[in-house]
Amino acid sequence: MSKICFQKIRITEVGPRDGFQNIKHHIATEIKIKIIKQLIESGIKKMEITSMVSPKAIPQLADSKEVINEVLTLFPNLISHVLVPNLKGAQIVYDLGIRHINYVISVSPAHNKANINRTHEESIEGMKVIRQDFPDMDFTLSLATVFGCPFIGATSLYILLKLIEQAHQVGINAITLCDTIGVANPAQTQQILTILKNEFPDIDIGMHMHNTHGMALANMLVGLNNGISRFETAIGGLGGCPFAPGAAGNAATEDLVNMLNRMGYETDISIPNLLLCNETIKQYVEPNLLSSLSKARLYDEFNFNAKLLPIGE
């Protein structure tokens, strides 16, 4: 008997970082923890819980130390990632017990400067020092503005390849391609993935797509079809970089999970539970969510799922 073959997809929820950083009003730490708890109850196993950056740059995440302490205490089984821009951030979160960081460099030099006040040389130097000083830290390189920049438009493929090469040389093998302003199109995504898979066949490529122009799911589908199995999404379609003017939210976790479930991929994430989490977010964080499922009938009394053909038949 041949078996139906499901591919396991790894979803990292980034709402508590990318989402909350872009909310104008203050969100109490206990509300953040309540939402993180609901996300875990939905089946989320990996989450970017906050960032460790200057509170002057991102006041919305000024409680990051409290969030980290609470999450590590209350949810020890969660794989907790924190975004850091520099050595200082890495040191602080390491001391707090975090062992997974997403280190951010923007492919666009102009956005790197606006976002984290660094040149590429400074960011690369920081990356090397962190890699060397914290050998037991799981290190993912998040590359911002891969598909376009709010200041210079198209970004350089040459710089993208050079940054990945430099990360690769110091043993960093997990790279997340971020469409910071949500302008990628499926043909561009295909082109970039083809080149990267050819140049760096052993690198774990993840995708972090914003939905500004409504193409985030289409781009992730291109990723799926190219064997990408790691995606970063935000509950409700929250999200946006305050230093990337005009960008809208991330691809929504519930919309990606819905698409994957319908297609027969395994996620182990419950859509009804994500929708409960939406209700909490609408109440305390943002009443107008951007995700499709937050506004639509689920039709979950029907089964529209794709009929998967058994392998070998």
Ramachandran assignment for 208, one of left (phi > 0), alpha (psi -120 to 50 degrees), beta (any other): beta
Distances (CA, A) of 131 to 4, 168, 295: 40, 11, 43
Q: At what angle do helices 253-263 and 216-225 cross, to 10 degrees?
A: 40
- Binding to ligand COA in span 77-106, by CB under 6 A: 83-86, 88-89, 92, 104
- Binding to ligand COA in span 224-263, by CB under 6 A: 241, 243
- Residue whose structure tokens are 């911002």: 144
How far is the C-alpha of 75 from the C-alpha of 17, rounded, in Å?
Answer: 17
- Binding to ligand COA in span 160-219, by CB under 6 A: none
Among 250, 254, 184, residue whose Cα is nearest residue 211: 250
How far is the C-alpha of 52 from the C-alpha of 111, rounded, in Å?
Answer: 19
Stretch that binds ligand COA, among 114-122, 159-167, 205-213, 279-287 (CB under 6 A): 114-122
Residue 40 or 177: the one with the smaller Cβ distance to Zn ion is 177
Among 5, 30, 13, residue whose Cα is nearest residue 232: 13
Q: Is-catalytic flag, 178?
A: no
Among 30, 18, 28, residue whose Cα is nearest residue 83: 18
Closest distance of CB 178 from Zn ion, Å: 6
DSSP three-state, residue 170: coil
53 interacts with, out of Zn ion, ligand COA, none, CB within 5 to 8 A per kind: ligand COA
Candidates 51, 189, 219, 278: give the one binding ligand COA (CB under 6 A): 51
Residue nearest to ligand COA (CB): 89
Q: Which of 5, 149, 178, 241 is catalytic?
A: 241
How far is the C-alpha of 17 from the C-alpha of 49, rounded, in Å?
Answer: 6
- Binding to Zn ion in span 9-28, by CB under 5 A: 18
Query: Counting contacts by CB under 6 A, is residue 50 touching ligand COA?
Result: no
Candidates 52, 71, 78, 172: give the one binding ligand COA (CB under 6 A): 52
Residue 89 or 249: the one with the smaller Cβ distance to ligand COA is 89
Candidates 9, 39, 47, 58: give the one binding ligand COA (CB under 6 A): 58
Residues known to be catalytic: 241
Which residues contact ligand COA (rule: CB under 6 A)?
21, 51-54, 57-58, 83-86, 88-89, 92, 104, 115-117, 144, 241, 243
Which residues contact Zn ion (rule: CB under 5 A)?
18
